[in-house]
Structure 1
């Protein structure tokens, strides 16, 4: 059976042989790399710059992934800022989804609004009021336009009726002198015929 010293000397010999084999393989790899560099016109600076760029790219990708992970942790998904607050218990509600029991049956929820949310609601109500005023102005303008058009139509109709009445009156006024002249002629004829008949009646009586 071999002693410990013999085993250790054998291990040293084996280690030397392994180092020689490793050095031989490394030299072969270096020779191969050198021949490839000469073949493609590359230098050690080219290799170093490309390796540096690759390292920086990998570092940037790692930093970007870490930042995105931090932002994802810092801003939880699906949570909305609170809009209503229960002053007794301190519970909050965002105003979306199903309302909690403390505000479920409340008709006027404005008293539970948080300051910032109340300001936002006020701005929304102001915007709605403005839009309502604008809509009222537009409808008032439309109604006024319709009324003015109706008034114009009435005025035109009244003018036409007045023109017709004046035409009728002028026609009647023109016809009246003609009738009067005809009546005068008839009366003149009657007057001229009356003296001629009177002597005839007198002679007949004698």
Structure 2
């Protein structure tokens, strides 16, 4: 029966042989694949599918904007931290979208 050291040496030798065999076959296989891709006109999406290993980004279905800054046109949904243009306002009604408040502010600036 072989000793642990002998088996370990055999394993290392086999790993080296496997790496050499893989390297030798690698270029052949790659050349074959490239030739078939060129012949058949495959695309990356045909081969790897839609995701290609990465998750797709989905558009956020956030809340619609409720407030608009009359000066810059910036909007805010009313959720989360208030932007600087509205955070100190005591009455936010004048910034509401679709109300008389925002329309009146626009008319005064003209």
> Same fold, TM exceeding 0.5?
no
Structure 1 or 2: larger helix share?
1
- Sort the TM-score into its range (normalised by shorter chain): 0.3 to 0.5
With normalisation by structure 1, the TM-score equals 0.21
Taking CA–CA contacts closer than 8 Å with sequence separation of 6 or more, which of the two structures ends up with the larger relative contact order?
A: 2
With normalisation by structure 2, the TM-score equals 0.35
Larger Rg: 1
